[in-house]
C-alpha cells in the first residue's frame, strides 16, 4: 500500500467511540461513516448527483453482481466503477464471498475457492481469492475486500475450519494484489464464538493491512451476540486503522457499533426500506402508506434537511405511493440515506465534542427500533 494514497488519522476517542479521517485516492472519508450500497453499480433509484447531495462519501458496489453482470472487463474498459457509474468519491467493493453464500442456491466450497451457480441464469462459476482480487482490481474501487467464507454463525467446529480457510485466503489475497492505489481490508470471522473472534482479530491485525473489517455479523445472531463480539474484537484491532462492520445496518445498530469502536458501516437497508414505503425518523421507522399520513402536511422527519423533507409533505409522498409512482422510491431513498449519513455525522461531532455518551443514550432512548410497532 502506498502510504501517500491511504492514511487513517484517529482524531478523538471517547471510550471506544472513534472520530477519524480515512484518506483515499478519491477523497477523505470522515468516520464514523455510513456507506450506501450500489449493488449493481447504482444506489437504487437515486442518481449520483442526488447521492452526493445526501452527504454520502463512501459508496459500495458488489463484486458478485458486477462479475456476473455486466462483467468486470466492461467496467475496466470504462476506466473502472467510478467512471462507469459516475461516482467521484471513495468506493468500496466487497469480495463476492458473502453473496456466493447468500444468493447462490448451489455452491461448493473447498480450500481453493468456491464453485457456485449464478442466481441470474444458472450458469456455473468459480471464485477464488485470486480471482476476487483480480475482479476487484478491474472494478477499481479505493477499498477492496479479502475473499472470505461467511459461515453460519453458531456452528463452532464449522466456524473453526472456516476461519482458518478465511485466514489462508486472506494471505492469498495479499499475495495476489498488484495495484498500489487500492487498500485491501482483511475480514475478521469466527461466528458468535469469542475465542475464534479473538484469534481472527489477532491474525488479521498482524498483517498490518490499511483497514480491518468485521464480517459474519447481522446474519441471524441476536443483537446481544453482535454487541458481545464487537466488544471482544475492539481492544484487539489496531487503533490506527479503520474498522468496518459489514452489512450493518439500522440506526440503532450504527450507534451501537460506533459505541463499540466501529468506523465504517454499509447496508442496503435505507434504499430497501424506501421501496417498501418505510422511512426513518428520530423516533423510529414510519410507513408512509399508513392512512394517518393522508392529510399530513409534515415532512417525513421534522428537522431533516434532505431534499425530500425540505420540499415534500407526507401527504404528497403517500399519494405517490398509492399512485404507484417511481418518484416515491427515489424521494424516500434520498431521505433514508441522508438520515443515516447525518446520524453518523452527528455522532462524529459528538465524539469530537466529548458528548457521544449523551448523544448515543438520547438517540437509543427516543428511537424505537421495534419494526412491528411502526410509528406514524
Q: Binding its own copies by CB under 8 A: which of 192, 331, 344, 347?
A: 331
Q: Does residue 188 touch its own copies according to CB under 8 A?
A: no
240 as an active site residue: the answer is no
Question: Per CB under 8 A, does 288 bind its own copies?
Answer: no
CB under 8 Å to 337, separation ≥6 — which residues? 36, 43, 46, 51, 54, 56, 270, 271
Among 76, 236, 315, 376, binds its own copies (CB under 8 A): 315
Which residue carries 477519524 as its cell? 20
93's grid cell: 467493493
First to last CA, the chain: 49
Tell me the closest approach of the beta carbon of residue 189 to its own copies, in angstroms.
Answer: 30
Selected binder of its own copies within 163, 173, 273, 320 (CB under 8 A): 320
Beta strands 278-281; 264-267: pairing state: unpaired
Q: What is the DSSP letter of 141?
A: -
How many helices (H) and strands (E) the chain has is answered by: 15, 16
Q: Binding residue for its own copies (CB under 8 A) from 34, 67, 84, 367?
A: 84
The 3-state DSSP class for residue 218 equals coil
For residue 94, the minimal CB distance to its own copies (Å) is 17
Is 316 near its own copies (CB under 8 A)?
A: yes
Q: Indicate if 94 belongs to the active site.
A: yes
341-342-347-352 Cα dihedral, nearest 10 degrees = 100
Given a contact cutoff of 8 angstroms between Cβ atoms, the answer to whether 121 and 155 are in contact is no
Supply the minimum distance, in Å, between the C-beta of residue 43 and its own copies. Answer: 8
The residue from 94, 234, 263, 301 that is catalytic is 94
Is residue 77 involved in binding its own copies (CB under 8 A)?
yes
Point out the residues that are catalytic.
94, 266
Which residues bind to its own copies, rule: CB under 8 A?
40-42, 44-50, 65, 69-70, 74, 77-78, 84-86, 294-295, 297, 307, 311-313, 315-316, 318-320, 322-323, 325-327, 329-331
Amino acid at each position: 500500500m502506498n502510504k501517500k494514497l491511504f492514511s487513517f488519522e484517529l482524531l478523538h476517542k471517547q471510550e471506544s467511540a472513534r472520530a477519524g479521517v480515512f484518506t483515499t485516492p478519491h477523497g477523505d472519508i470522515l468516520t464514523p461513516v455510513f456507506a450506501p450500497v450500489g449493488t449493481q453499480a447504482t444506489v437504487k433509484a437515486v442518481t449520483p448527483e442526488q447521492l452526493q447531495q445526501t452527504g454520502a462519501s463512501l459508496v459500495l458496489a458488489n463484486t458478485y453482481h458486477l462479475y456476473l453482470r455486466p462483467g468486470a472487463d466492461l467496467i475496466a474498459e470504462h476506466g473502472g466503477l467510478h467512471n462507469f457509474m459516475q461516482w467521484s468519491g471513495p468506493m468500496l467493493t466487497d469480495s463476492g464471498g458473502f453473496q456466493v453464500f447468500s444468493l447462490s442456491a448451489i455452491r461448493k466450497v473447498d480450500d481453493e475457492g468456491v464453485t457456485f451457480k449464478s442466481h441470474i441464469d444458472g450458469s456455473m462459476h468459480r471464485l477464488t481469492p485470486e480471482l476476487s482480487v483480480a475482479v476487484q482490481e478491474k472494478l477499481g474501487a479505493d477499498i477492496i475486500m479479502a475473499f472470505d467464507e461467511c459461515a453460519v454463525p453458531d456452528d463452532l467446529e464449522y466456524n473453526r475450519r472456516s476461519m482458518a480457510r478465511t485466514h489462508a485466503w486472506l494471505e492469498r489475497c495479499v499475495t495476489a494484489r498488484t495495484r498500489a492505489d487500492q487498500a485491501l481490508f482483511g475480514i475478521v470471522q469466527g461466528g458468535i464464538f469469542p475465542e475464534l473472534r479473538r484469534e481472527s482479530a489477532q491474525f488479521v491485525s498482524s498483517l498490518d493491512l490499511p483497514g480491518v473489517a468485521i464480517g459474519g455479523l447481522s446474519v441471524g445472531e441476536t443483537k446481544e451476540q453482535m454487541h458481545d463480539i464487537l466488544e471482544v474484537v475492539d481492544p484487539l484491532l489496531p487503533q490506527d486503522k479503520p474498522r468496518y462492520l459489514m452489512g450493518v445496518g439500522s440506526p440503532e445498530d450504527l450507534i451501537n457499533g460506533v459505541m463499540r469502536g466501529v468506523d465504517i458501516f454499509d447496508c442496503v437497508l435505507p434504499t430497501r426500506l424506501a421501496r417498501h414505503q418505510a422511512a426513518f425518523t428520530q423516533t423510529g421507522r414510519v410507513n408512509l402508506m399508513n392512512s394517518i399520513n393522508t392529510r399530513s402536511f409534515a415532512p417525513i422527519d421534522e428537522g431533516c434537511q434532505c431534499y425530500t423533507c425540505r420540499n415534500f409533505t407526507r401527504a404528497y409522498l403517500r399519494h405517490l405511493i398509492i399512485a404507484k409512482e417511481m418518484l416515491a422510491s427515489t424521494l424516500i431513498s434520498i431521505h433514508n440515506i441522508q438520515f443515516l449519513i447525518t446520524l453518523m455525522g452527528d455522532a462524529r461531532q459528538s465524539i469530537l465534542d466529548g458528548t457521544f455518551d449523551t448523544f448515543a443514550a438520547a438517540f437509543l432512548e427516543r428511537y424505537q427500533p421495534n419494526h412491528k410497532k411502526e410509528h406514524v
